[in-house]
Amino acid sequence: MEPLVLDVTDGDGVLAAAAEVERSYGRLDILVNNAAIRVEEYGRKPSEQPLEQWRRTFDTNLFAVVEVTRAFLPLLRRSPAGRIVNLSSLLGSVGTHGDPASYAYSDMFKSLPAYSASKSALNSWTVHLAYELRDTPVKVNAVHPGYTRTGLNDGEGDLSVQDGARTGVAMALLGDDGPTGTYTHRGETVPW
């Protein structure tokens, strides 16, 4: 295995990366869609977030995931056990956002409407793609890694990157009898 640098918002680069993987390996066993941005400012009301931030967020967090997945899907179909793992967020859970007992039901997280909506849309993409691939060996799942300390949230969070990766790794290594079309965190179902 060797690293391959990829800008997920560059369509030509995405196609070149898929072609490189095909040339080098002939197939792809696991695709983890982990690229995401958060450009909104904490503390702003949802209606105050500029439309340009919405567009930038969706370009990376949703449209790039769709483009990358579509480019690599032929290679995943060649795998005897292809896996697609979409890194979502608890902020993508509409049910969680509507629950007054949830940490997402707060001024801080309500100031991230574009990020949250992009992850909700990613969850929808996950379900639709899992349905399309339901009669194939390819499994498609969304995961919430947990509130992980990364640059995306200014280093805040309860989990290290290693701990945050556990759910995604588990879903990437699913056996043939594993689920598809799910949204999980550490083995527990997350409300859509």
Which sequence positions are flagged as catalytic?
A: 115, 119
Question: End-to-end CA distance of the chain, in Å?
Answer: 34
Alpha-carbon distances, residue 37 vs 16, 34, 115, 174 (angstroms): 23, 10, 8, 27
Q: Which residue has the tokens 């095909």?
A: 22
Three-class secondary structure of residue 170 per DSSP: helix
Q: Which residue has the tokens 């072609």?
A: 19
